[in-house]
Amino acid sequence: MSSANIVVLGSSNTDMVVKAAHLPAPGETILGGQFFMVPGGKGANQAVAAARSSSSVAFIAKVGTDIFGQQAIAHYQQEGILVDTIFRDEENPSGIALISVDAKGENCILVAPGANATLTPKELQSVKNTIISGNVLLMQLEIPIATIEQAIDVAVQHDTKIILNTAPAQALSDQLLQQVDILILNTSEAQFYTGMTIENWEEAALAADYLYQKCPGIIIITLGAKGSLLKEKDNYIQIPAEEVNAVDSTAAGDTFCGVLAACVAKEMSIVDAVKLASKAAAISVTRMGAQTSIPFWQEYNIL
């Protein structure tokens, strides 16, 4: 089985996007929207972001045997991602996301996970050598938690660095969090885990302190247009975001995570990694779509 510096474990979806003047209220129909259909899923988005960051990437995921699954795998191959760890579900369809985007770039997303929800710990165990041979394991929370726990067990035993993006937020055990090397959350996710309101740097630092008690690694809280707060041991570093004209924020967080993983695999400092990830995320929000918006290494590698 092929090996790569970065192993991404996560979801693969097809995104069906409609851009309109505003997001519909319950019962409202909005005419005049633009329609796009593009590859998506948090796992896939992050794998593409890492691959476009001049890194070797293997993707562990599960798709259906339908046309969406076939197109997804072909697309990942074109991106240079290793796909021999992608499983096929004979019974369930590939994941689908319905995304509405307004004129300011804000979005709402409805996901039908399909095959993503059937990726089992047993299947993960069958491709553990891919994780063992990697330098970095990057994960999100759009697949079963039991499968994520299995991957963490493998990574811990073989000193593979673990990066977890807690999106979408859901309950996690203290044991799982204790084994994570880098934890990445946005403000809503950080509020889910801490119960704290996070609207500024000071509140983000308090939330990072709380999270550090459960996850004694590196904590990164992204604050959208404000930037990111990085907590490494007793150090707190504010990394401002660039001011851009946002048109679609769909893949900003995933771009950040994928690029950060690539920088970590390249053994860059965590501060430089966050700066580059922030630069890439800023570029992504100026473009429509998920993977269609993710920039390439040469577009933001300014260090």
Question: DSSP string of 83-134?
Answer: -TTEEEESSSPPEEEEEEE-TTS-EEEEEE-GGGGG--HHHHHHTHHHHHH-
Residue 272 has pLDDT above 90, yes or no: yes
Could you tell me the pLDDT band of residue 153, with boundaries at 50, 70 and 90? very high
The tokens describing 133, both together, are 């041979």
Report the DSSP beta bridge partners of residue 109: 99
Q: Across residues 281-290, what is the average pLDDT?
A: 86
Look at residue 96 and tell me if it is in a domain: no
Could you tell me the pLDDT band of residue 2, with boundaries at 50, 70 and 90? low
Q: Does 135 show up as a binding residue in the annotation?
A: no
Report the DSSP beta bridge partners of residue 161: 136
CB of 116 within 8 A of CB of 12? Answer: yes
pLDDT tens digits, 204-220: 999 999 999 999 999 99
Residue 277 is given by DSSP the state H
Torsions phi, psi of 256, nearest 5? -55, -50
Q: Across residues 228-243, what is the average pLDDT?
A: 93
Residue type, position 86, single letter? I
- Burial string for 28-64 (b: 16+ CB within 10 Å, else e) reads eeeeeeeebebbbbbbbbbbbbbbbbebbbbbbbbbb
User: Given CA atoms 253, 254, 255, 261 in this order, what sign does their dihedral have?
Assistant: positive
- Other Cβ atoms closer than 10 A to 27: 5
Could you tell me the pLDDT band of residue 101, with boundaries at 50, 70 and 90? confident
Alpha-carbon distance of 10 to 61, in angstroms, equals 6
pLDDT of residue 167: 95
What is the reported pTM? 0.92
Look at residue 36 and tell me if it is in a domain: no
Q: Across residues 218-225, what is the average pLDDT?
A: 94
- 254 catalytic, yes or no? yes
pLDDT of residue 210: 97
Q: Does 293 show up as a binding residue in the annotation?
A: yes
Task: Say which residues have a Cβ less than 8 Å from residue 116's Cβ, sequence separation at least 6.
Answer: 11, 12, 13, 41, 61, 62, 95, 142, 143
* Summary mean pLDDT of the chain: 93
Look at residue 92 and tell me if it is in a domain: no
pLDDT of residue 291: 87
Q: Which domain holds residue 255?
A: 42-61+120-294
Q: Does 69 show up as a binding residue in the annotation?
A: no
pLDDT of residue 158: 95
Look at residue 236 and tell me if it is in a domain: yes
Q: Does 289 show up as a binding residue in the annotation?
A: yes
Look at residue 208 and tell me if it is in a domain: yes
Q: Is 263 helix (H, G, I), strand (E, B) or coil?
A: helix
Q: Is 176 helix (H, G, I), strand (E, B) or coil?
A: helix
Torsions phi, psi of 198, nearest 5? -130, 105
Could you tell me the pLDDT band of residue 177, with boundaries at 50, 70 and 90? very high
pLDDT of residue 169: 96
Q: Pick the catalytic residue from 209, 234, 254, 272.
A: 254
Q: Does 129 show up as a binding residue in the annotation?
A: no
Q: Does 253 show up as a binding residue in the annotation?
A: yes
Residue 62 has pLDDT above 70, yes or no: yes
Domain of 139, CATH number, reads: 3.40.1190.20
Could you tell me the pLDDT band of residue 302, with boundaries at 50, 70 and 90? low
Q: Does 187 show up as a binding residue in the annotation?
A: no
Residue 248 has pLDDT above 80, yes or no: no
Number of domains in the chain: 1
Q: Across residues 233-251, what is the average pLDDT?
A: 87
Look at residue 219 and tell me if it is in a domain: yes
Look at residue 18 and tell me if it is in a domain: no
Could you tell me the pLDDT band of residue 123, with boundaries at 50, 70 and 90? very high
Q: Across residues 114-142, what is the average pLDDT?
A: 97
Phi-psi region of 286 (alpha: psi -120 to 50; beta: other; left: phi over 0): alpha
Look at residue 252 and tell me if it is in a domain: yes
Residue 86 has pLDDT above 70, yes or no: yes
